[in-house]
Every structure is written in C-alpha cells, then in structure tokens.
Amino acid sequence: MRPLQPGTRIVTIGDSITDAGRNQPVGTAGSGLGTGYVALLNAFALARQPELGLIFLNTGTSGHTVRDLAQRWQRDVLDLKPDVVTVMIGTNDVWRQFDSPFHPAGHVLPEEYSSTLRDLTQQTLSQGIEMLLATPFYLEPNPNDAMRSRMDEYGAMVKEIAHELGTDFLDTQALFANFLQHYYPASMCWDRVHPNLAGSVMLAEGFAGVLGFGGSF
C-alpha cells in the first residue's frame, strides 16, 4: 500500500460485518458508518493521523455474497471514485452451505467465489485503484470444524488472489487467534460470525495496520 495522501477516499465493501447498520445508500463519517469495524477504522484514522482527512465510504450490505458484490460493484465501488477499496466477503458464501444445505441456488462454491473475486479485483486495479483483500473468518478455534475448515479454504483463495494480483492482504482469522486461546467464541458472538465491540476493534486494528495508520496515537 502506498502512503495514504490527504483526502484519500476509502470504500469498504462486504457483508453484514462491514454493514453493521450503516446508512443507506452509502455510509459516511459519523453514525452513518455503522457500529462495527469501519466506524472504528475511521476513528483510528482521525485519532492517529488527523492531518490526512481520510474519507471512508461504507457500502457493506447484510447477507451479501461475492455474487451480490459483482452485481453492485459499479454503483457501490467504481462510481464512488475511490482511491482505495477494502473487500471482506465470503462469510455468507460459506455459511449458506451449512445453514441452508437444501437450497443450493444460494451457495457460492469455491470456483465461483475465486473467479468472481479475481475478476472484480482485476477490474478495479485496472482503473488505478488500490485494493486490500481480507479473508472471511469464523470464530471457531478448532480448524477441523467443518465450517471453520471451509472458511479457511475460502481465505486461502483470497490470499492466492492477493499474491497473484499484487494487492494488499489481511488474514482476519489470524486476528482472533489469541482471543480464541482464552475465551469461548460465544463470549464474543453467539453465532461465531458477528463480533462484538472487542472483535470489531481487532478487525479495525488489522485493517489500520495494512492501510498504514495502525499503532499508538
């Protein structure tokens, strides 16, 4: 990631973890960014590097998969003229395979997930926009758990695409490793998907570190 310049426009896109109750059609600074990691990311930027005046635009949408992102990419990413785009998607792509096994039309399987994310990334990079690709995560400490294992598989695809296309990368599953050594997952979120404030802080710190304004004040 090149050093951020004053007034850099950062679009954050993903599912409900990014959405977090943000305003429609585009969440902006203040309460409009929602109550999750994006709002904290904005707060960290203001506290640590106020001279940059970074502009965060949240277009995360609850329930969405990478298939949904492809359908709204022009409107919710490219039309907003970002300098940087962060993408964290895959939770629902995997989750629907487990909570809705008899509705395969809603399942986004690995080949579709990988090819769609790669296409969106290539399309965006070709316009001179920087990207940060983040893995999906599942708050389960046992890597052999069926859903955790599947989520890790999708995370590995994100890492491969980031390496292949030369984008920045964030392993969000790794951010929770220390917490999961000490606490049962339900103490952070009952469904192991939607983190509480502490989990949102972990995510925000992870994103801030890659974007270049992590650390102390």
**Catalytic residue IDs:** 16, 191, 194
Contact between 42 and 49 (Cβ < 8 Å): no
Q: Residue 80 — φ and ψ, nearest 5°? A: -85, 0
Handedness of CA 10, 14, 19, 22 (dihedral sign): positive
The whole-angstrom distance between residue 215's C-alpha and the CA centroid of its chain comes to 20
Comparing CA positions, the residue from 31, 26, 19 lying closest to residue 91 is 19
- 44-59 in b/e form (b: 16+ CB < 10 A) is bbeeebeebebbbbbb
Contact between 169 and 163 (Cβ < 8 Å): yes
> Residue for token digits 């785009």?
85
